[in-house]
Amino acid sequence: MKNIVVIGAGTMGNGIAHTFAQSGFSVNLVDVSQEALDRGLKTITTNLDRIIAKGNLTEEQKAETLGNITTFTALQDAVGNADLIVEAATENQDLKLKIFGQMDEFAPENCILATNTSSISITKIAAATKRADKVIGMHFMNPVPIMKLVEIIKGYSTSQETYSAVAEMSKTLGKVPVEVNDYPGFVANRILMPMINESIETLYNGVAGVEEIDTVMKLGMAHPMGPLQLADFIGLDVCLAILNVMYDGFKNPKYAPNPLLVNMVMAGKLGVKSGEGFYDYSESKKAEKVAKMFSK
């Protein structure tokens, strides 16, 4: 597999495109607007400059990486020679099903169709295509160029050939593929999201403040960042969407999102991406200042 298409130039999409391009693959990056593509390329360029500053990349390698990426605003124009397509659009089931129908229509019949979904059923996504055996989950972790894990999720009809090809491909990117079965939330988010939700519940019940909860988890459990900071980093809207998928899938009240999370998302307080969540990011992208709503 040499020709890769990435659908979506947002946080995950540009990270996935960056990772493939830096590993020498030809990457077509697709989004609905040129503005979104320009933002994605700007982020990739900034991240490459950070790697150069650490002495782990040369200017020539940066130029080669950027040269490996071509942008498109029309999916059908980007996928004609694709060996692998990785969908990294918003975590919305209806949108993903629509995109997979289009991918199936326009991509070569031997092309593998992968989704970076963090919770939605691979089996359901595959049902939107006529090649269920070639549909698979590739759940990368954020930030993609740095994080080693890729959850590889097989749907009900995913072939072993498809799984093996994607697992080997992940290794060429310097990633560690882990095989996971197709249940809501898979492994990473089935464990992570209830922890984040319980942290919000702890705050909601007044047990402790934002910084105190995060400090306990960082110092007591050796987490690199606290769960509330992590929720801001992921995006509170994404956390809510994943919890809703798990709640709908299992019908278990332990996955029901906390009302505080629901209200924050409705109010547009989404974390880093909106400038405010549990922390205030108006002056810094680091979680250095608790949001006014939660400050003492």
Q: Which residue of the set 3, 116, 170, 189 is catalytic?
A: 189
Mean pLDDT, the chain, whole residue set = 97
Amino acid 296: pLDDT: 74
CA 156, CA 245: separation in Å to the nearest integer?
18
With a pLDDT cut of 70, the percent of the chain lying above it is: 100
User: What confidence tens digit (pLDDT) does each residue in 168-200 have?
Assistant: 999 999 999 999 999 999 999 999 999 999 999
Amino acid 63: pLDDT: 98
Q: What is the mean pLDDT of residues 102-123?
A: 96
- Asked whether the beta carbons of 178 and 203 are under 8 A apart, the reply is no
Is 139 a known active-site residue? yes
Is 151 a known active-site residue? yes
Structure tokens at 132: 């269920």
pLDDT value at 55 more than 90? yes
Q: Which residue of the set 3, 14, 68, 118 is catalytic?
A: 118
User: What confidence tens digit (pLDDT) does each residue in 4-20 have?
Assistant: 999 999 999 999 999 99
Beta-bridge mates of residue 154:
136, 181
Q: Show the beta-strand stretches assigned E in the chain.
A: 3-7, 26-30, 69-72, 84-87, 112-115, 135-140, 149-154, 176-181
Q: Which residue of the set 3, 14, 68, 151 is catalytic?
A: 151
CA 176, CA 174: separation in Å to the nearest integer?
7
Q: Which residue of the set 139, 197, 199, 276 is catalytic?
A: 139
